[in-house]
Amino acid sequence: MKRRAAVLGLLLAAAGCAELRARYPGPDVVFIATPDGVTAEMLKLASVTGRDVVYDLGSGDGRVVVMAVRDFGARGVGVEIDPQLVQASRDRAFGAGVTERAMFLWQDLFVTDLREATVVTIYLRDDVNLRLRPKLLRELAPGSRVVSHDFDMGDWRPDRVQRVRGPHRDHTLYLWLVPADVAGLWRTRVGEREGVLNLSQRYQTLGGSLSLDGRELILTDAILRGDRITLTAGGLVLSGRVSPEAMEGDAGERGAVSTQAWTSRRVH
Ligand SMILES: C[S@@+](CC[C@H](N)C(=O)[O-])C[C@H]1O[C@@H](n2cnc3c(N)ncnc32)[C@H](O)[C@@H]1O
Residue 79 CA, closest ligand 1 atom number:
21
**pLDDT tens, 56-91?**
999 999 999 999 999 999 999 999 999 999 999 999
Q: What is the pTM of this model?
A: 0.90
212 CA to centre of ligand 1 in angstroms = 51
pLDDT in the model for residue 4: 47
187 CA to centre of ligand 1 in angstroms = 45
pLDDT in the model for residue 147: 98
89 CA to centre of ligand 1 in angstroms = 12
- Share the mean pLDDT of the chain: 92
**pLDDT tens, 185-207?**
999 999 999 999 999 999 999 99
* CA dihedral (24, 25, 28, 31) positive or negative: positive
Beta carbons of 93 and 62 less than 8 angstroms apart: yes
Residue 187 three-state SS: strand
Residues with CB under 6 A from ligand 1: 27-29, 31-34, 56, 58-60, 63-64, 79-82, 85, 108-110, 123, 149
pLDDT in the model for residue 18: 53
pLDDT in the model for residue 112: 98
Amino acid at 17: C
